[in-house]
Amino acid sequence: MRLPVWLTVPPMTCAPGPLATGAGSPEMRRLGRMARLAIQPFARRPRLIATDLDGTVLGPDFRFRPRTLEAFAAAEEAGVDVVFVTGRPYRWLQPLREQLAYESVAICSNGAVIYDLGADRILASETVDPGVIPQLLARLRAELPEAALSAEALDSIYTDPGWGQTNVLETSPDVVRGPLEQVLPADAGVVKLLVRQDGTDPGALYERVRELAGEQVSVTHAVATLPLAEIGQAGLSKGRTLARWCAERGIRAEQVAAFGDMPNDTAMLRWAGHGYAMASGWPQVIEEVGRTCPGFEEDGVAQTIERLLAEGAADAWTREDR
């Protein structure tokens, strides 16, 4: 897949621009309303498919199902780009590289990092304002004393001693352990702060962290069963980064099909002309998006891609025609 010019430059920090907004902002709502006016079904094949990973196309084993891989390959063969959009850090994407037979790009850490899977390198990044981190950590400690905190930076991971070691990320040599206020350098380049409090209702923790964080950062929730809140740059969302990425390639919202299942997918699903909430996903996401596809266990993304490609098969529309 040919990369746009802006993705061929070294990692950079991007200040929020016109699209620097969350799912509930006026700009993202306006874009979502415009997108939902698109013709249904696609008059032509989509130009781009953007999909979340966990719970959408990947199970707990972090493996694609065979039908999903076949659908991705068919889309690429038809000239439709496939972009992965995930809350996971780029370090966790090695299993994807091993399963895919083509080059692709992943938007990671809820939009904070753009990663070239084929070249194994970061293309762009957006970090949390370092000036707001100390006060935010102090507020979280005071109001959520039982919570464990972690910071995901571009080069390292910093975690409280009590942070659960549940993934290769937490056991890698790049992890620095200790009270976050003491071990996190001021210039670490934090792309995401995480707050975890075991034994707490996931939705309640998300709402409480959002209340404490205020407007200086963005807060989202990505794992249905895990009491984990994720904090990023103010205005950051999967939708914002995907919109910018598509704009650089001349791809309009109505030419994008997107799939997801959790609140961190909402901005992306509402921006895309054809955003699909997984039927197996978070109920509030289904309600906000208003369009669903079958759940993960039914290969819902693969089913929908197959249908979209079939609907556009009679149209002799290729990359060269665009």
Query: Over 80: is that where the pLDDT of 56 sits?
Result: yes
The pLDDT, as a whole number, for residue 103 is 81
pLDDT of 91: 86
Asked if pLDDT for residue 34 goes beyond 70, the answer is: no
**What is the C-alpha to C-alpha distance for residues 118 and 105, in angstroms, rounded to an integer?**
8
**Is 263 in the same domain as 216?**
no
Mean pLDDT of 114-136: 95
The full length of the chain comes to 322
Q: pLDDT value at position 220? A: 94
Question: What's the pTM value of the predicted model, to 2 decimals?
Answer: 0.81
pLDDT one-digit tens code per residue, 189-226 = 999 999 999 999 999 999 999 999 999 999 998 887 88
pLDDT of residue 225: 81
Measured in Å, how far apart are the chain's first and last C-alpha atoms? 15
Whether residue 243 is found in the same domain as residue 187: no
Give the max Cα distance, the chain: 61
Q: Are residues 175 and 54 in the same domain?
A: no
Q: Are 32 and 49 contained in the same domain?
A: yes
pLDDT on residue 164: 66
Residue 50 shares a structural domain with residue 108: yes
Least confident interval from 40-49, 67-76, 176-185: 40-49
User: 243 by DSSP, 3-state: which?
Assistant: helix
pLDDT(137) > 80: yes
Residue 24, pLDDT > 90, answer: no
Q: Are residues 266 and 226 in the same domain?
A: no
Least confident of 61-75, 103-117, 188-202, 302-316: 302-316
Q: What is the CATH number of the domain that holds 267?
A: 3.40.50.1000
Q: Tell me 90's DSSP state.
A: G
| Mean pLDDT in residue range 15-22 | 36
CA separation for the pair 285, 133 (Å, rounded): 29
* Domain end marker among 233, 249, 273: 233
Question: How does DSSP assign 254-265, residue by residue?
Answer: GGEEEEE-SGGG
- C-alpha–C-alpha distance, residues 122 and 143, integer Å: 35
Of residues 10 and 48, the one with the higher pLDDT is: 48
Amino acid at 248: E
Burial of 235 (0-12, 13-18, 19+ CB in 10 A): buried
Under the banding of pLDDT at 50, 70 and 90, the label for residue 172 is low
Sequence-distant (≥ 6) Cβ neighbours of residue 228 within 8 angstroms: 194, 195, 196, 202, 205, 221, 222
Tokens for 180, please give them. 């976050």
Q: How far is CA 179 from CA 68, 141, 151, 176, 273, in A?
A: 41, 11, 11, 10, 44
Using pLDDT thresholds of 50, 70 and 90, give the confidence band for residue 228.
Answer: very high
- pLDDT bin (cut points 50, 70, 90) of residue 3 is very low
Q: Report the run of H or E that residue 311 belongs to, with start and end.
A: helix 300-311
Which of helix, strand or coil describes residue 58? strand
Q: Looking at the structure, tell me whether residues 15 and 97 fall in a common domain.
A: yes
Instruction: Determine the 3-state secondary structure of 217 from DSSP.
Output: strand
Q: Give CA torsion, residues 33, 35, 40, 43, to 10 deg.
A: 150
Q: Is the pLDDT of residue 110 over 90?
A: yes
**Secondary element (H or E) of residue 173:** none
Cis peptide before 26 (omega within 30 of 0): no
Q: Given a cut of 80, is residue 5 above it in pLDDT?
A: no
Q: How far is CA 196 from the centre of its chain?
A: 19
Write the CA distances from 71 to 134, 219, 268, 299, 301, integer angstroms: 45, 32, 21, 10, 8
CA distance 89 to 154: 9
pLDDT level of residue 32 (50, 70, 90 thresholds): very low
Going through 171-303 in order, the beta strands assigned E by DSSP cover: 175-177, 190-196, 217-220, 228-233, 256-260, 274-278, 292-293
Helical segments of 48-197, H only = 66-77, 94-99, 133-143, 168-171, 180-183
Q: pLDDT digit string (tens) for 250-267?
A: 999 999 999 999 999 999
Instruction: Kindly tell me if the per-residue pLDDT of 21 is higher than 50.
Output: no
Rounded mean pLDDT of the chain? 84
Same domain as 36, residue 99: yes
User: Is the pLDDT at 249 greater than 60, yes or no?
Assistant: yes
Q: How confident is the model at residue 16, as a pLDDT? A: 33
Q: Give 57 or 13, the one with higher predicted confidence.
A: 57
Q: Which of the 8 DSSP states describes residue 111? A: G
Q: How many domains does the chain fold into? A: 2
Give the CATH number for residue 152. 3.30.1240.10
Kindly report the backbone phi and psi dihedral angles of residue 243, in degrees, each rounded to the nearest multiple of 5, phi listed first.
Answer: -60, -45
Domain check: are 163 and 265 in the same one? no
Q: In which domain, by residue range, is 263 found?
A: 5-126+237-321
Query: Do 20 and 93 belong together in one domain?
Result: yes
Last residue of a domain, one of 233, 248, 268: 233
Mean pLDDT (whole number) for 38-54: 75
Give 52 or 42, the one with higher predicted confidence: 52
Name the domain boundary from 215, 233, 251: 233
More confident residue, 65 or 225: 65
- Specify the pLDDT at position 213: 95
Same domain? 204 vs 247: no
Residues 50 and 120 in one domain: yes
